[in-house]
Amino acid sequence: MIKSPWLRPSLGSSWENEDLASFLEALAAWIEDADGWYRNAGRKLPASGGWSFFARALRAATVYE
Do residues 26 and 46 make contact, with C-beta atoms less than 8 angstroms apart?
Answer: no
Q: Could you write out the DSSP letters of every residue in 41-59?
A: TT-PPPTT-HHHHHHHHHH
Give the span between the Cα atoms of 20 and 32, in whole angstroms.
Answer: 18
Q: Count CA atoms within 13 Å of residue 25 on its CB side.
A: 8
pLDDT at 35: 93
pLDDT tens sequence across 9-65 = 554 457 888 889 999 999 999 999 999 999 999 999 988 888 999 999 999 999 888
